[in-house]
């Protein structure tokens, strides 16, 4: 299997909404974003699939060394071998890849966040930086597009957090800020025991309103000159925001089930942005 085949399979197997947006890119950009996305999946899977924190730290340290070695001219993992040809073309920095790894390391060290600014710092590493790199690969020409991409990445990550509350609870993690749980009188043990309540719904409505505001702020930041190039990000925004609305329609029944969109629906939403230019 070639490195290119490896990253293609890694991206396709994830079933992520991101994959559907990549399909509409020209081959060089599609190859770059697929390899970068596969890298993000590899390091994220270390945290989600390795049960021993010590082993997970060792694996993430290996990835940090592999990134450094790759930028020194000697990639060994198929993901890095697929990604490195795109690095000079799209201006991908080693520090951006290391930031993603640091964000995943935070999952091994921290399972609670006191307030939203603390959560936001984590989200920047695992999603905002991803947005930065993606925007460059898609064809960014204006500096303000970086801030759009960071904010959109934050909106995506908050949508993921809302969707995954139940799954994260099974791993002992709560990404909802502690002071906001207190504000809505939702106890941590209720989340961990996956107890649905009116108080929980009120808390989640608050989280969803914040996510919607971030989608609006991000889209307002995107300059018209970059709108065409950034269509893949707009496709992802359409898919993720539709998912958020589905979760709202289901009364935030996320503690004991995973609410998702079908592949056909994701493809339709992506095509609609590509063909009609609207979300």
What separation, in Å, do the N-terminal and C-terminal C-alpha atoms of the chain show?
37
| pLDDT at res. 278 | 61
Q: Record the pTM.
A: 0.91
DSSP secondary-structure letter at 139? T
Q: Taking a C-beta distance cutoff of 8 angstroms, is the pair 180, 165 a contact?
A: no
Pair (62, 183) in one structural domain: no
Q: What does each of the 279 residues of the chain score in pLDDT, given as a tens digit?
A: 899 999 988 887 766 777 777 888 899 999 999 999 999 999 999 988 877 889 999 999 999 999 999 999 999 999 999 999 999 999 999 999 999 999 999 999 888 999 999 999 999 999 999 999 999 999 999 999 999 999 999 999 999 999 999 999 998 999 999 999 999 999 999 999 999 999 999 999 999 999 999 999 999 999 999 999 999 999 999 999 999 999 999 999 999 999 999 888 988 998 888 887 666
| pLDDT at res. 121 | 94
| pLDDT at res. 48 | 82
| pLDDT at res. 232 | 92
Pair (129, 264) in one structural domain: yes
Burial class (CB in 10 A: 0-12, 13-18, 19+), 247: buried
Residue 23's domain is classified under what CATH number?
Answer: 1.10.600.10
| pLDDT at res. 279 | 60
Pair (96, 161) in one structural domain: no
Pair (249, 121) in one structural domain: yes
| pLDDT at res. 277 | 63
Pair (105, 116) in one structural domain: no
Pair (87, 132) in one structural domain: no
Helix axes 263-276, 231-249, angle to 10 degrees: 130
Pair (28, 127) in one structural domain: no
Q: Which of 83, 13, 67 is nearest to 45 (CA)?
A: 13
Answer with the one of 75, 109, 143 that is the final residue of a domain: 109
Pair (249, 127) in one structural domain: yes
Pair (123, 92) in one structural domain: no
Pair (117, 239) in one structural domain: yes
Pair (6, 136) in one structural domain: no
Answer with the one of 87, 109, 131 that is the final residue of a domain: 109
* Domain range for 213: 111-278
Pair (130, 266) in one structural domain: yes
Q: How many angstroms separate the Cα of 59 from the Cα of each of 47, 76, 143, 273, 275?
A: 9, 15, 35, 38, 42
User: In whole angstroms, what is the distance from residue 20 CA to residue 37 CA?
Assistant: 12
124 Cβ contact list (under 8 Å, min separation 6): 103, 150, 153, 154
Helix axes 231-249, 129-138, angle to 10 degrees: 140
- Return the exposure string of 18-48: e unless at least 16 CB atoms fall within 10 Å of the residue's CB, then b: bbbbbebbeeebbbbbbbbbbbbbbbbebbe
Answer with the one of 51, 74, 109 that is the final residue of a domain: 109
Q: Taking a C-beta distance cutoff of 8 angstroms, is the pair 151, 235 a contact?
A: no
| pLDDT at res. 53 | 87
What number of helices (H) and strands (E) belong to the chain?
17, 0
Count: domains in the chain:
2
């Amino acid at each position: 299997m070639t490195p290119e085949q490896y990253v293609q399979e890694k991206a396709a197997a994830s079933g992520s909404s991101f994959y559907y947006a990549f399909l509409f890119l020209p081959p060089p950009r599609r190859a770059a974003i697929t390899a970068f996305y596969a890298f993000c999946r590899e390091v994220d899977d270390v945290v989600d699939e390795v049960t021993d924190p010590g082993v997970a730290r060792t694996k993430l340290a290996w990835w940090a060394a592999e990134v450094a070695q790759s930028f020194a001219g000697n990639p060994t993992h198929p993901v890095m071998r697929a990604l490195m040809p795109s690095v000079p073309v799209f201006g991908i920095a080693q520090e951006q890849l290391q930031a993603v790894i640091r964000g995943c390391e935070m999952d091994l060290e921290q399972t609670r966040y006191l307030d939203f600014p603390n959560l936001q710092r984590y989200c920047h590493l695992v999603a905002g930086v991803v947005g930065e790199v993606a925007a460059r690969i898609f064809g960014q020409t204006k500096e303000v597009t970086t801030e759009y991409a960071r904010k959109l990445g934050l909106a995506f990550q908050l949508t993921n957090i809302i969707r995954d509350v139940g799954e994260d609870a099974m791993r002992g993690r709560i990404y909802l800020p502690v002071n906001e749980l207190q504000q809505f009188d939702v106890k941590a043990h209720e989340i961990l025991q996956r107890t649905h309540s009116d108080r929980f719904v009120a808390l989640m409505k608050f989280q969803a309103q914040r996510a919607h505001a971030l989608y609006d702020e991000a889209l307002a930041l995107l300059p018209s000159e970059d709108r065409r190039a950034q269509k893949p990000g707009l496709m992802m925004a359409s898919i993720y925001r539709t998912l958020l609305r589905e979760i709202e329609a289901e009364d935030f029944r996320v503690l004991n089930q995973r609410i998702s969109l079908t592949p056909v629906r994701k493809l339709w939403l992506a095509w609609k942005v590509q063909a009609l230019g609207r979300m």
